[in-house]
Chain A
């Protein structure tokens, strides 16, 4: 007897995607991190291979629509979730995103938390 069972799960995992807020804080003097010099290259290196507004359907590899990080607006719209999946701070280090390589270093995750905590300067 030969049994073939194919199970296709789209966008559904048992492990929660979102971790706790990192509680990152903006330094007293503000941050030197900027969208153009930090967040944009960060997203291009680790996120926009799935989370890009130009991608549709299967090319998104499960990334939900309109959760796109190829613009600063896209990041700002769901920045809480970016913090809860990707950033690092005093309260948590969240590593559920990206789900594959390449992935940011711990230092880069902490910088992401700081940039978000400082209201994501352009």
Chain B
């Protein structure tokens, strides 16, 4: 008898983005009646290779809707956490001109939004983050 078992663990604690939030809370930013509790909207002028980082602190039932916009397709970004003394990337995109991403944290923690200019010239990147529920925000 031959038994083959393949176990793939993609990240510590699973994918927090796939966990449901409290349905009683109006945290779906795509819902027509959703109203953000806080909107962060800034244009960051970044030199080639330069990054900015924003920190969202909170957990379920909070959520966020992230919108990034630039004039050329050289925006790279991710959302990551640092649970258990490591780094867990929740979502990442490279070489984008715009990005739209609804983020729902699976656990209460600090969640880091890193945005980088991967182009060869200085570029303005519009960062708009709508926060729903018990989320706080600070620029690093």
A interface residues with partner B (beta carbon < 8 Å): 1-13, 15-18, 53, 56, 64-67, 70-71, 73-74, 77, 81
Tell me, yes or no, whether B30 is within 8 Å of chain A by CB.
no
Q: Mark B53-88, 1 if CB is under 8 A from A, else 0.
A: 100000000000000000000001110101011111
Cα-based distance from A56 to B94 in the complex (angstroms): 10
Majority-rule SS of A interface residues: loop
Chain B residues 106-135 with CB under 8 Å of chain A are 114, 116, 118
- For residue A1, which residues in chain B have a CB less than 8 angstroms away from its CB? 1-3
* Closest chain A residue, CB of each to CB of B89: A64
Quick check: A77 and B53 within 8 Å, CB to CB?
yes
Quick check: B85 and A16 within 8 Å, CB to CB?
yes
Known pairs A2-B2, A77-B52, A77-B140. 4 more at Cβ < 8 A? A4-B4, A17-B86, A53-B76, A64-B89
Quick check: B3 and A66 within 8 Å, CB to CB?
no
Question: Which of A10, A15, A65, A81 is in CB contact (< 8 Å) with B92?
Answer: A65
Quick check: A9 and B9 within 8 Å, CB to CB?
yes
Quick check: B49 and A8 within 8 Å, CB to CB?
no
Majority-rule SS of B interface residues: strand
25 A-B pairs (CB sep. < 8 Å): A4-B4, A5-B7, A6-B5, A8-B6, A8-B7, A8-B8, A9-B9, A10-B8, A10-B9, A10-B10, A11-B86, A11-B89, A12-B12, A16-B84, A16-B86, A17-B87, A18-B86, A53-B76, A64-B87, A64-B89, A65-B78, A66-B78, A70-B49, A73-B49, A73-B51
- For residue A2, which residues in chain B have a CB less than 8 angstroms away from its CB? 1-3
Task: Say yes or no: A11-B11 contact (C-beta < 8 A), given A66-B114, A67-B87, A77-B51.
Answer: yes
B interface residues with partner A (beta carbon < 8 Å): 1-12, 47, 49-53, 76-78, 80, 82, 84-89, 92, 94, 114, 116, 118, 140
Quick check: A53 and B87 within 8 Å, CB to CB?
no
- For residue A65, which residues in chain B have a CB less than 8 angstroms away from its CB? 76, 78, 80, 89, 92, 94
- For residue B5, which residues in chain A have a CB less than 8 angstroms away from its CB? 3-6
Quick check: A4 and B88 within 8 Å, CB to CB?
no
Q: Which 3 A/B pairs are nearest by Cβ-Cβ distance? A: A16-B85, A71-B49, A77-B51
Cα-based distance from A71 to B46 in the complex (angstroms): 13
Q: How far is the CB of A18 from chain B (nearest CB, A)?
A: 5
